[in-house]
């Protein structure tokens, strides 16, 4: 048997040596990933448990939330400006704006997800907001519809990268017992919708053309441009806070997965110092594991040539192969991707055209003014905040956990969409949409947390990116459907509701339950 490292005894007491029990068990079973990596991930998890949830993690909670906020805010922005843009620029097919957006989201999810596993988390963490804010700000000066569509695609590349990167960064710095906070982070997701609708209510109500018929000159329709300048500016402020105010270290698990054990330990030491704490983890704890597992499995080649070779191998889909390494992992990954895909079609098919639906139902009762439409949007958005908080509570309930919360909230979301088709007035539709937004925010809060939790850190960006890419691919279909479907009928709503219910039932087939376990 290998000799236990002769470092401070607290290392043994806290479970930093793998023969001893950790504070929490791992989500993935033995054999799901490389044994060297798995053993080292357990040691890092125990070190994070030893440090605890401190100042660094709470500050990271603040800035990582910006990614969740942008992930919901910018698609909502596209929806909110849609009517004003169409009235002024008169495109032959207005839904091309949503199509351009979804194509950008697709590219961002795939490229940033894979790239964060190859080049690291830090660069992507900051670059996503810079791309989004820059092109969002420029979009306010668009001279024609083609220009605004191009800028929508470009800002969406940044938006699409937020989820795969930010979830990985936050999850890889927090102790296992605090992983429920990844669900609570979705409060930013709900706040992004509320912020966008509040600002749109003020600007689009007061600075937009009065009617959708006749001429709508730019001078009388500046609201959506002011809106773009404002939202682009807010996003760049978030970038400044991330890049210049908060210093993000590269995550220890990423460094360890690339063979940089000493640097991984150094990051943990810096986090402990920032928190006013200490860590008993030493580089030899990680290095000794390579020696111990060398007899049982090939150890990670940490040489310079090995690092170069691995970097090129990443482009050979090695990260993707790891997600299907065992039958159980393959089943889990496939189901997650399918669930994301179904929701990717259901959510934008209904939600992207919500202002139109509200205005249409409002017309039946004479309350279809721009003011009432955006007032209703704000009311609906407010309900998302308690939804995100409820998700954080539900995932920790015994015998319920992540899977139970995700299944129930997804199915009920679909049921509320069906119920919304019975509304005869705009107020009735508003009520059903409030209920829908509450449960859909619970759903997204849990989904955004569950997905990165069940992937190992060395492949987490890729796994989450593939899921988000499937979501975006199916999201591309929604504006295409809108171009040819009759939105005056409830058929798109029925389709959306059915997709949500099917996705919710598929959750029951997922093999892993992360509640009470540490991600690796």
pLDDT of residue 355: 52
DSSP string, 417-462: HHHHTT--SHHHHHHHHHHHHHHHHHHHHHHHHHHHHTS-HHHHHH
Q: Specify if 4 maps to a domain.
A: no
Q: Specify if 39 maps to a domain.
A: no
Q: Which residues contact 363 (CB under 8 A, 6 or more apart)?
A: none
Distance separating alpha carbons of residues 57 and 42, to the nearest angstrom: 19
Q: Specify if 342 maps to a domain.
A: yes
Count the domains in the chain.
1
Of residues 179, 59, 164, 185, the one with CA closest to residue 120 = 164
Q: Specify if 37 maps to a domain.
A: no
**Secondary structure (H, E, C), 26-57:** ECCCCCCCCHHHHHHHHHHHHHHHHHCCCHHH
pLDDT of residue 231: 97
Distance separating alpha carbons of residues 174 and 182, to the nearest angstrom: 9
Distance separating alpha carbons of residues 426 and 488, to the nearest angstrom: 14
pLDDT of residue 208: 86
* Per-run averaged pLDDT (10 residues), the chain, 520 residues: 37 38 57 77 90 94 94 90 89 85 90 85 92 96 95 95 89 90 91 92 86 76 95 97 93 89 93 92 82 49 47 59 87 95 86 56 54 82 90 87 94 90 79 91 92 88 88 81 64 84 96 85
What is the residue range of 202's domain? 55-249+322-518
pLDDT of residue 350: 77
Q: Specify if 148 maps to a domain.
A: yes
Residue 31's CB is within 10 A of a number of other CB atoms, namely 12
Q: Specify if 403 maps to a domain.
A: yes
CATH of the domain at 144: 1.20.1250.20
Which H/E stretch holds residue 58?
A: helix 55-89
- Extended strands (E) in 38-197: none
What are the backbone dihedrals phi and psi of residue 282, each rounded to the nearest 5 degrees, phi first? -130, 155
Pairing state between β 517-518 and 25-26? parallel
Which H/E stretch holds residue 240?
A: helix 223-240
pLDDT of residue 520: 81
Q: Specify if 392 maps to a domain.
A: yes
pLDDT of residue 38: 82
Of residues 110, 136, 133, 112, the one with CA closest to residue 123 = 112
Q: Specify if 50 maps to a domain.
A: no
């Amino acid at each position: 048997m290998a000799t236990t490292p002769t470092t401070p005894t607290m290392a043994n007491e806290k479970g930093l040596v793998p023969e001893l029990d950790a504070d929490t068990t791992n989500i993935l079973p033995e054999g799901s990933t490389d044994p060297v990596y798995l053993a080292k991930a357990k040691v890092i998890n125990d070190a994070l448990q030893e440090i605890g949830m401190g100042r660094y993690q709470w500050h990271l909670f603040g800035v990582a939330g910006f990614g969740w906020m942008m992930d919901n805010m910018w698609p909502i922005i596209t929806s909110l400006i849609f009517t004003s843009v169409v009235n002024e620029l008169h495109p032959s097919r207005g839904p091309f704006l949503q199509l351009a957006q979804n194509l950008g989201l697709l590219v961002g999810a795939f490229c940033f997800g894979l790239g964060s596993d190859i080049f690291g988390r830090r660069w992507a963490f900051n670059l996503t907001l810079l791309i989004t804010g820059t092109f969002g700000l420029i979009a306010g000066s668009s001279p024609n519809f083609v220009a605004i569509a191009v800028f929508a695609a470009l800002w969406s590349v940044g938006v699409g990268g937020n989820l795969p990167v930010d979830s990985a960064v936050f999850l890889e710095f927090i102790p296992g017992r605090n992983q429920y906070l990844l669900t609570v982070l979705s409060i930013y997701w709900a706040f992004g919708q509320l912020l966008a609708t509040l600002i749109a209510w003020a600007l689009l109500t007061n600075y937009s053309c009065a009617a959708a018929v006749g001429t709508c000159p730019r001078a009388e329709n500046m609201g959506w441009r002011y809106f773009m300048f404002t939202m682009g500016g807010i996003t760049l402020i978030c970038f400044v806070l991330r890049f210049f105010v908060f210093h993000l270290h590269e995550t220890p698990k990423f460094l360890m997965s690339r063979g940089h054990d000493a640097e991984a330990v150094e990051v943990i030491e810096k986090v402990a110092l920032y928190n006013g704490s200490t860590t008993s983890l030493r580089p030899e704890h990680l290095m000794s594991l390579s020696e111990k597992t060398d007899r049982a499995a090939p150890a990670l080649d940490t040489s310079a040539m090995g690092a170069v070779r691995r970097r090129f191998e990443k482009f050979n889909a090695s990260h993707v192969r790891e997600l299907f390494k065992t039958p159980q992992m393959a089943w889990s990954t496939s189901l997650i991707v399918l669930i994301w895909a179904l929701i990717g079609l259901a959510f934008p098919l209904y939600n992207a055209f919500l202002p139109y639906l509200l205005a249409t139902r409002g017309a039946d009762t004479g309350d279809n003014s721009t003011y009432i439409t955006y007032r209703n949007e704000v009311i609906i958005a407010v309900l998302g905040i308690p939804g995100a908080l409820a998700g954080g509570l539900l995932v920790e309930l015994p015998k319920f956990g992540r899977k139970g919360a995700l299944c129930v909230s997804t199915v009920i979301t679909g049921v509320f969409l069906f119920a919304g088709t019975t509304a005869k007035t705009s107020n009735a539709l508003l009520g059903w949409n409030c209920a829908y937004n509450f449960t859909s925010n619970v759903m997204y809060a849990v989904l955004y947390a569950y997905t990165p939790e069940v992937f190992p850190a060395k492949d987490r960006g890729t796994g989450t990116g593939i899921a988000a890419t499937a979501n975006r691919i199916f999201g591309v279909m929604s504006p295409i459907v809108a171009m040819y479907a009759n939105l005056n009928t409830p058929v798109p709503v029925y389709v959306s509701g059915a997709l949500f219910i099917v996705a919710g039932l598929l959750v029951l087939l997922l093999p892993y339950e992360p509640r009470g376990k540490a991600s690796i």
